[in-house]
Amino acid sequence: MILFVRHGETEANRRRLALGRADPPLTERGNEQAAAVAHRLSSIGVSAVYASPLLRARETAGKVAELAGCEVVVDDRLVELDYGDWDGRSFPDLPPEELARWRDDPSFAPPGGESLRTVTARVAGFCAEHLEGETVVAVSHVSPIKCAVTWALGAGEELGWRMFLDLASITRISGRDGHASLVGFNDTTHLIPD
């Protein structure tokens, strides 16, 4: 089983900016979220923790790995979509016709960036490699996790626009005999105060 974890909050997330390959650290709240998800996963019996190379994912993964008693393995396939010229900008400030095309066409790439179809291809490789066997954690970002879900469901990438994925959420994808199943999506019960 693969437990996909979205990283904790950064300042860009708090401000609702496009955050692709920019590399800000977690905020104080983001560190608290990462600690909460690590605590939640500490009793599951995780065999490995993988992370995107971006700092926000590595910081989140570090907390999970510490409680799981293993090291973080960086895997470039888990990196966020490259927003290119859109990185760090507010979505309402982007050209509306380009945003519409992006949502309708999975092969569309923001200027200087990459398409959802490209993200799905690299995430599918990660999923196929780790789908069956021991439970692993993959700390990643909103676009790769949504692409993993659409891959598991055998659906088009455009379905991702109908999903909301919280920061520090857990999404579970399982596999058997080469077939993937979505077991859980956007689980944030560990973030609810007692």
**pLDDT digit string (tens) for 140-163?**
999 999 999 999 999 999 999 999
Full-prediction pTM beyond 0.85? yes
Residue 145 has a pLDDT of 98
> Tens of pLDDT along 47-71?
999 999 999 999 999 999 999 999 9
The closest alpha carbon to 161, from 104, 90, 120, belongs to: 104
What's the burial of 45, exposed, middle or buried (CB within 10 Å: 0-12/13-18/19+)?
A: exposed
Q: Is 190 tagged catalytic?
A: no
Q: Is 28 tagged catalytic?
A: no
CA dist., res. 148 & res. 169, Å (int): 14
Per-domain residue ranges of the chain: 2-191
Which CATH architecture does the domain made up of 2-191 adopt? Answer: 3-Layer(aba) Sandwich (3.40)
Place of tokens 């979509």: 81
Catalytic residue among 7, 59, 141, 157: 7
- Summarize the confidence of residues 86-98 as an average pLDDT: 93
DSSP string across 92-120: GGS-HHHHHHHHH-TT---TTS--HHHHH
Considering the chain, what is the average pLDDT of its residues? 95
Is residue 194's pLDDT more than 70? no
Q: How far is CA 97 from CA 74, 87, 91, 111, in A?
A: 36, 17, 12, 13
Catalytic residue among 80, 114, 130, 141: 80
Alpha-carbon 112 to chain mean position: 21
Residue 39 tokens read as: 């605590």
Confidence of residue 89 (pLDDT cuts 50, 70, 90): very high
Q: Beta partners for 138?
A: 4, 50
